[in-house]
Structures are given as C-alpha cells and as structure tokens.
Amino acid sequence: MKKHCPIFLLFLGLLLPLISTAQSKVNDTVLTIDNQYIKSDEFLWMFNKNSELNKIESELDLDQYMELFVSFKLKVAEAIEQGMDTDASFQRELRGYKTKLERNYLSDQTISNSLLLEAYNRLQYDVKAIHVLVRLNDSVQEITEANRLGKLLGKLPFEEMREKYHNGKTVFVENLGYFTAFNMDYDFETVAFNTPVGSLSNPFKTKYGHHVLKVLDRVKSDGEIQVAHIMLADQPKDTIPSEKQINKLYQELLNGADFSALAKKYSDDPQTVGKGGRLNYFRRGQLASEIFESKCLSLKEIGAFTAPFQTEFGWHIVQLLDIKIMEPFELAKVDLEKRIQRDGRSQKINQAFFNKLAKLYQVTYYNPQKDYLLKIIDKTYFDQSWQPPIDMPQDAVLFVLNGQKIYLVNFVNYLTDGKKRYDSSWSLDGMLADAFKNFVNNTMYNKYQSELSERFPEFRFLLNEYREGLLLFDVMQQNVWSKYPDQNEDVVKFQETLEQTWVNSLKQKHKIEINTLAWDALKQELLSQTKK
C-alpha cells in the first residue's frame, strides 16, 4: 500500500502518552454520527494525545476542537461508506500494524527486557571453553557418563582426553574456541558465562544431550574488525620460496606500496584476491586459524599491517581496515530483539508468558484422557496417515479455561492439524505430553489475544487510530489532495476551500448528534485540567 503522509498523524499524534487523569466519571456517548457511537474515553484519548497542540482557555476553544473532531469523524464515515475499509491493501496494512502492536502485549515484557540487557552485556565479552558432550538413549546413563567424563576433563590434558574418549557419535570432546552471546545454544551459553575461568561446570542438559564444560578464558571483546591480507601458499612449482617472496612484499609495503594493489597481484587466496585481500567483518573466535586471528586482533590502528607470519595455510601479511565497536544499548536494541526472536531466548520469553496466562486463567484439568488417547493413536501418526476413530466421544472435557470448556475433540483436531510437528523419533507418550502442553498454551494465547481490546483501552485506541488514519488519508487523497485548480490559482487555498465545501456537504449527508449533557460535563473536566 502507498506510504501515508504524516498529515493525519499530526492530528492523531505519534506517541503513546499516559491517558490523562481527566476521565469522564461515566463513559457516556458524547457524539453520534449515523449509527456510530463515540464515547467520552475515545474523545479524551484523541484530545490528550494532542494536548501540546491544543491551547484551550475557554469553552469556545473546546467547541472549536469538537468541530475539528466531528469533521475528522465525518471523513472517516465517508471513507467507510465508499468501501475503503474493505480494500485488500488497506486490510493488509492494518493487519500488519495490528500484528506489530500485539507483540507489545503478547509476551512477558519484564523477561524480554531482562534478556535484552543480558545479551547486550554478554556481547561485550568472549569466552573460551572446552567441553564434553554425552548423547545416549538412556538419560540416567547419559548424566552418569557425563559426570564421569567431566571430572576427567578437569584432570587430563585436552588432547589426551580427546584421543581417549571422543568418538563423534555418543561422546564428543571439543575445543570450542572463543564464542559470545548467540553463538551457542542459550542454555549452554548461560552455563559458560556463569562458570568462573579455570573451573568446571556441573553436568547440564541441552537439546543435544548432557554436557560438562571448562572455561579457559574470558576477555573483553575487541568488537568486529575487517582486515585485508596477502597470502602466499607454499607450492612445489614456486621458483621463489614463499617466505622470501613475502618478505620482499613486506619491504615494498614499508616503502609505501599500496596494500590492495599488491594483494591483487600476488595473493594466492582466490576468495579475496579480486577484492584486494579484503575479508568480511569478524570477531574473536570466528576464524579457523587462531594464529591468523591473533595477528589480526593485535593491530590497533587503521591502516597498520603486520610483519610476515606463517599459518597452516601459508605466509601472510595482514592490514587492519576497520573496527566496529558495540553500539550503545538503545541503538543496539532493535537488532538484539530480532536476534532473540531467532534464539533459544524466545522460548524463555514464551514460557514466562504462558506461566502468566496460566495464573490469570486458572486452568482446571478435568481429565487429560491420556489413557484413551494412547489406545486410539499409533505410530501411523508420524507418517501422517492416522485418522481419529469415528466413535470418539464428543462431550469429553479436557480442561476448563476461565469458564470455557475445552473438549477432547478440540485436542484431537489440533493433533491432526499439527502432524508435521512430530516425527518418528518421538515416543507416543512423549509426543502426547508435548502436544498437550502446546495445545493448552495455544488455547490460552488465542483467548488472551482476542481480549486485548477489552483488557487494554490504549491497544483499542491505537488500533482504531491507525485504522481511521489510513481511511482519512485515502478519502482525503481521493476528494481533496488529488484535485488541482485549472487556472493559476494557489493550490493550497484551492484545496482548503474544496475541503471545507466537501465537509459541509458531509454534514448535510450524515446525521450528527452531540450529547450536550455529556459534552458539557466533559468540557468542565477539561477546563479544570488546564487550570491545574
């Protein structure tokens, strides 16, 4: 849909202030246009959002403001009458805004903010660790073995430990190098950041199995850096040894030669030679060669370059091109929110929200019907060929959610619709337990989502504000802003006159009633507010 200009937003306001304490004692209908009833609280919302623009000193000022309010509502009513609210692009844009707005209400904001700050603080550091991972079918044996191997991890040299116990199937002994927030499973990351340097963790579980880790180092992050390099690989066909050639290039650089030009001419790295040796941005722990990474991080000034050094890939000279330090929290927040949504942290936020809903709705479980479900469901569920029996009881209650009965058939329909969520690696018992938990959470979520307008007046007002703002823009574009004078008349004056004539015609077309009792009471409240 078109990008809407901010003209209507000037009237509606852009930010979400607190609703003024000036509230009508009784939320009467203050204005009626045809069959649309506008309550005092909606008028107050609109008025208070524009309080800095409204210089109210008398009842006359308020009456003039009401005139503007009526004109606005008339234009919206006309847009609806013309069917603009049924336009596909309008509905799509409104749905998109509603989805974004709902996010502020459909999560535990306390947990969300805590995880945001935690992630930001962890990104300031890099942790180096080794670990042992045990993955067995028997959970008791798995944790016992993880505990045994974990103790050895603290005693034996790492290479000896890896040589003896790593098999790449059920036991993994790995040097993870340096990592930071978002690089690992969230539970693993949390244990690593909470374990002192030089210490072993207790055995802990992630979705991969049971682990024990040892933290070797924790350092302040150098941020993200970008470098260029010249690499010479040792090859039998070389007539000049790589070490001799790299030292020759180093002398040329010391004499002022252009680094990029030398890299394009001499470097053996096919991935970067065409770019003057330039690599993508990286931070500690992201490169395969620790030697190469260490040399890069030793450079502190843009343009500085290293002396020649050797890695397993050949001989190198590295030049520092740029350093990106961590942005302040408020600037980094938007990106962190997106990363959290793709990370295991989102599950923590969701679970905290579901726990909150469970307390709110006080779910009563009458009969989970687990025995019955295990009788009627079999392994064909996992290949999506299972069908529920036709004689399944229709009145069996699973649980009651805030007075609403949820039936067995509702859960079975959920299972049928969600077959692709589970595969044959699940046991039937485990699948039913997980699916039932998700079904309860989903039911609570949908109910709460449907109640947002009732529970949160500001949500209802904001959504309606955006809806009416879109309609206002469209109807103004069609009736005023797309019209231009034929002669050399001033466009602004022409459109202002056109708009006034159009509004006058709308006043004749639509039935307008102002509830004088409610309006007089509201004016007194607003005038009292301005005098404070």
Q: What are the distances in angstroms from CA 3 to CA 7, 9, 473, 483, 514? A: 12, 13, 10, 19, 34
Q: Which residue matches tokens 């191997």?
A: 149
- Other CB atoms within a 10 A radius of the CB of residue 224 amount to 16
Cβ neighbours of residue 234 closer than 8 Å, sequence gap 6 or more: 241, 242, 314, 315
**Mean pLDDT taken over the chain:** 88
Measured between alpha carbons, how far is 379 from 427 in angstroms, rounded to an integer?
9
Measured between alpha carbons, how far is 326 from 95 in angstroms, rounded to an integer?
35
Measured between alpha carbons, how far is 514 from 339 in angstroms, rounded to an integer?
50
Least confident of 73-77, 221-225, 307-311, 484-488: 484-488
Query: Mind listing the pLDDT tens digit for each residue in 257-311?
Result: 999 999 999 999 999 999 999 999 999 999 989 899 999 999 999 999 999 999 9
| Segment holding 134, helix H or strand E | strand 125-134
Measured between alpha carbons, how far is 362 from 403 in angstroms, rounded to an integer?
10
Q: Tell me the pairing of strands 125-134 and 512-514.
A: unpaired
Q: What are the distances in angstroms from CA 406 to CA 401, 412, 440, 447? A: 7, 11, 9, 12
In this prediction, residue 10 has a pLDDT band, given cuts at 50, 70 and 90, of very low
The answer to whether residue 249 scores a pLDDT higher than 50 is yes
Percent of the chain with pLDDT over 90: 64
Measured between alpha carbons, how far is 395 from 253 in angstroms, rounded to an integer?
83
Looking at domain 125-220, its CATH architecture is Roll (3.10)
The answer to whether residue 21 scores a pLDDT higher than 60 is no
More confident site: 25 or 441: 441
| Segment holding 320, helix H or strand E | strand 314-324
The domain segmentation of the chain, as residue ranges, is 7-102+463-531, 125-220, 224-324, 362-450
Cβ neighbours of residue 263 closer than 8 Å, sequence gap 6 or more: 228, 229, 230, 272, 273, 276, 277
Position 232: which residue type?
A: L
In this prediction, residue 427 has a pLDDT band, given cuts at 50, 70 and 90, of confident
125-220 shares its CATH topology with 224-324:
yes
Cβ neighbours of residue 113 closer than 8 Å, sequence gap 6 or more: none
Query: Mind listing the pLDDT tens digit for each residue in 315-325?
Result: 999 999 999 99
Which DSSP symbol is given to 180?
Answer: -
Measured between alpha carbons, how far is 92 from 100 in angstroms, rounded to an integer?
13
Q: What is the mean pLDDT of residues 57-80?
A: 91
In this prediction, residue 46 has a pLDDT band, given cuts at 50, 70 and 90, of confident
- Other CB atoms within a 10 A radius of the CB of residue 350 amount to 16
18-55 exposure pattern, b = at least 16 Cβ within 10 A, e = fewer: eeeebebeeebebbebeeeebbbbbbbbbbbbebeebe
Looking at domain 224-324, its CATH architecture is Roll (3.10)
Amino acid 238: pLDDT: 52
The answer to whether residue 61 scores a pLDDT higher than 80 is yes
For residue 124, give the 3-state DSSP assignment: coil
More confident site: 101 or 417: 101
Cβ neighbours of residue 178 closer than 8 Å, sequence gap 6 or more: 126, 127, 128, 217, 219, 284, 285
Amino acid 26: pLDDT: 43
Q: What's the N-to-C CA distance of the chain in angstroms?
A: 44
Amino acid 527: pLDDT: 84
Cβ neighbours of residue 196 closer than 8 Å, sequence gap 6 or more: 215
Cβ neighbours of residue 15 closer than 8 Å, sequence gap 6 or more: 49
Measured between alpha carbons, how far is 370 from 399 in angstroms, rounded to an integer?
13
Which DSSP symbol is given to 477?
Answer: I
The answer to whether residue 182 scores a pLDDT higher than 90 is yes
Cβ–Cβ under 8 Å, residues 413 and 405: no
Cβ neighbours of residue 420 closer than 8 Å, sequence gap 6 or more: 384
Query: Mind listing the pLDDT tens digit for each residue in 215-244?
Result: 999 999 989 999 999 999 976 655 567 889
DSSP alpha helices (H): ranges in 418-480?
428-450, 452-455, 457-476
Cβ–Cβ under 8 Å, residues 254 and 262: no
Query: Mind listing the pLDDT tens digit for each residue in 350-402?
Result: 999 999 999 999 888 876 677 788 888 988 888 888 888 888 888 888 899 98
Cβ neighbours of residue 242 closer than 8 Å, sequence gap 6 or more: 232, 233, 234, 235, 314, 315
φ and ψ of 186, to 5 deg: -60, -45
Give the bridge partners for 172, in sequence order. Answer: 133
More confident site: 236 or 477: 477
Query: Mind listing the pLDDT tens digit for each residue in 134-158?
Result: 999 888 899 999 999 999 999 999 9
Exposure of 75 by Cβ count < 10 A (0-12 exposed, 13-18 middle, 19+ buried)? Answer: buried
